[in-house]
């Protein structure tokens, strides 16, 4: 009997090693559970302890519901150490690790602990807040246990998965579940550009950056966040797909410090049922092109407003976030095949993926002490700036990159477009510098924020 059980267990392990997904065929295989899978995957999942020093303003009004906002810039700044705890996944023998930006981004001291109690220091090779991903390099690491990346485009709803990480700092923990949804856009972080796999495997604080693995032990996603009312897992967790992780690793090895996304140079609108009927589509789906920049690679490929983008590289896209994700997975310098509906006909077009042009030059400046708003960082608007701040494609002029201390008190924000200073029209950063230096005792500044025009008046 024991020999039969061991034989069945060996069959189960062999099934895993050959990356073949199948339903358990015996009670012995069912009893075996996920043990062989955990033994295979867990060594490559690490605990990450990170710290950074930040300057915090010590105000006597902190905690007061009214005065803490009124006097938020009052008081001295003092350095304070912030600690973060999370997880990561080793992806190569030489110690390349993927984690979340919110775990290690901007950290000055990173320690990585392996499951076998080894410890390494690490440095950030590439980090991107928008995608909430970061790539680390373990120092003096070799022959590391690691996970293989599976193409997340092959993942299906209902697949069994394990979430491995360090929830609540209690040590490495494994939870199981299924893939409960695909193509979740913007739900996890509030970022409209996000794109996630959804799982019901419990993901708790500290699991961030951990592994979401399939039944064969391959990485299909990096756990990033949850939807919750209580702070704990309620059965809806999100993971960043492995296809995007692969592109991050590639760019990190090429020496990039920030993630370079292809630029679409267009705005599109998801198609609902009413729009689908008017466009002659059997089912709602795709994106109708509503605006194109003159230098957009889509416009260069012949696209016009009113065209409907249905697929990118053979994958359906139903939101702008999905389209940008598909382009990001392909990478800058590559070509993407776009299936579109144009004037009632299906057409397939190849689009060359490119970075947003830095033309005209930003000519970034920081205003001096003689300026009405000192330490204000301004740049000329170009396609790269439009993409960075999500501005309307037709905008020109000058954008606020950093409002500085005085600008923050005046209500300015990064991404605001400076329109006028004391009635003078602002078209370039040189115009803005001159107007702010010539400002009189009473200053009027007009900015554009989204579709709103905001006027700020103050005394020097």
> What is the pLDDT at residue 438?
92
What are the pLDDT digits (tens) for 219-272?
A: 999 998 876 555 555 668 899 999 999 999 999 999 999 999 999 999 999 998
Beta strands in 139-265 (DSSP E): 160-165, 173-184, 196-199, 211-214, 219-226, 237-241
For 13-74, give the DSSP string. HHHHHTT------SHHHHHHTTHHHHHHHGGGEEEEEEEEEEEEEE-TTTT-TTHHHHTTT-
Cα separation, 243 vs 196, in Å, equals: 11
102 counts as catalytic: yes
Dihedral, 229, 235, 236, 241 alpha carbons, nearest 10: 140
> What is the pLDDT at residue 81?
57
Residue 173: CA count within 13 A, CB half-sphere: 16
343 counts as catalytic: no
**Which of 57, 90, 88 has the alpha carbon at shortest distance from 74?**
57
> What is the pLDDT at residue 1?
39
Catalytic residue among 107, 131, 180, 208, which?
208
> What is the pLDDT at residue 173?
86
- What are the Cα distances from residue 277, in Å, to 154, 264, 281, 317, 344? 30, 26, 6, 18, 12
Phi, psi of 417 (to 5 degrees): -100, 120
DSSP bridge pairs for 457 = 444
> What is the pLDDT at residue 18?
41
107 counts as catalytic: no
> What is the pLDDT at residue 21?
55
Catalytic residue among 128, 132, 200, 214, which?
132
Phi, psi of 206 (to 5 degrees): 105, -20
**Stated pTM of the model:** 0.81
What are the pLDDT digits (tens) for 113-155?
A: 998 889 999 999 999 998 899 999 999 999 999 999 999 999 9
Element (H, E) at 275: helix 273-279
Cα separation, 376 vs 84, in Å, equals: 31
**Paired sense of beta strands 442-449 and 424-425, if any:** unpaired
Cα separation, 377 vs 365, in Å, equals: 6
Element (H, E) at 11: helix 2-17
Q: What share of the chain is helix, strand, coil (3-state, %, to 5)?
A: 20, 35, 45
- Is the distance from CB of 322 to CB of 264 less than 8 angstroms? no
Q: Give the residue ranges of the chain where pLDDT is below 70.
A: 1-32, 53-82, 168-169, 183-194, 227-235
Cα separation, 340 vs 271, in Å, equals: 13
Catalytic residue among 99, 102, 185, 307, which?
102
Give the DSSP letter of residue 154.
Answer: G
Cα separation, 291 vs 300, in Å, equals: 14
> What is the pLDDT at residue 346?
93
Structure tokens at 8: 């069945």
**Which of 152, 282, 268, 272 has the alpha carbon at shortest distance from 218?**
152
């Amino acid at each position: 009997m024991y020999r039969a059980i061991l034989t069945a267990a060996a069959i189960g392990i062999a099934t895993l090693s050959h990356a073949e997904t199948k339903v358990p065929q015996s009670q012995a295989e069912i009893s075996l559970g996920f043990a062989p899978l955990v033994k295979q995957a867990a060594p490559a999942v690490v605990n990450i302890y990170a710290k950074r020093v930040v300057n915090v303003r010590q105000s006597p009004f902190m905690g007061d519901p009214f005065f803490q906002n009124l006097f938020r810039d009052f008081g001295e700044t003092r350095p304070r150490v912030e600690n973060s705890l999370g997880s990561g996944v080793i992806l190569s023998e030489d110690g390349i690790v993927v984690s979340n930006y919110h775990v290690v981004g901007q950290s000055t001291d990173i320690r990585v602990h392996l499951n076998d109690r080894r410890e390494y220091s690490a440095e950030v090779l590439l980090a991107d807040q928008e995608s909430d991903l970061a790539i680390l390099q373990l120092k003096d690491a070799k022959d590391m246990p690691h996970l293989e990346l599976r193409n997340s485009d092959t993942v299906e709803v209902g697949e069994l998965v394990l979430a491995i990480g360090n929830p609540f700092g209690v040590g490495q923990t494994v939870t199981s579940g299924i893939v409960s949804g695909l193509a979740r856009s913007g739900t996890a972080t509030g970022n409209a550009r996000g794109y996630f796999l959804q799982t019901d495997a419990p993901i708790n604080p500290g699991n961030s950056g951990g592994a979401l693995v399939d039944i064969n032990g391959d990485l299909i996603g990096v756990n990033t966040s949850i939807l919750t009312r209580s702070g704990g897992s309620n059965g809806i967790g999100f993971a960043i797909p492995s296809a995007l992780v692969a592109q991050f690793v590639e760019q990190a090895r090429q020496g990039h410090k920030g993630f370079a996304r292809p630029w679409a140079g267009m705005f599109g609108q998801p198609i609902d049922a009413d729009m689908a009927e008017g466009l002659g589509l059997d089912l709602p789906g795709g994106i109708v092109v509503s605006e194109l920049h003159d230098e957009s690679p889509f416009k260069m490929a012949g696209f016009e407003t009113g065209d409907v983008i249905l697929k990118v590289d053979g994958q359906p896209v139903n939101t702008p976030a999905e389209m940008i994700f598909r382009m990001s997975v392909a990478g800058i310098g590559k070509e993407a095949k776009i299936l579109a509906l144009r004037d009632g006909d299906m057409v397939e077009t190849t689009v060359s993926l490119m970075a947003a042009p830095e033309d005209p030059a930003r000519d970034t400046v920081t205003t001096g002490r003689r300026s009405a708003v000192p330490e204000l960082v301004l740049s000329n608007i170009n396609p790269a700036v439009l993409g960075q701040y999500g501005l309307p494609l037709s905008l020109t002029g000058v954008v606020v990159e950093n409002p500085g201390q005085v600008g923050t008190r005046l209500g300015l924000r990064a991404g605001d477009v400076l329109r006028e200073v004391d009635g003078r029209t602002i078209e370039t950063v040189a115009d803005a510098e001159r107007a702010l230096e010539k400002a009189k005792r009473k200053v009027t500044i007009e900015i554009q924020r989204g579709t709103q025009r905001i006027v700020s008046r103050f005394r020097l």
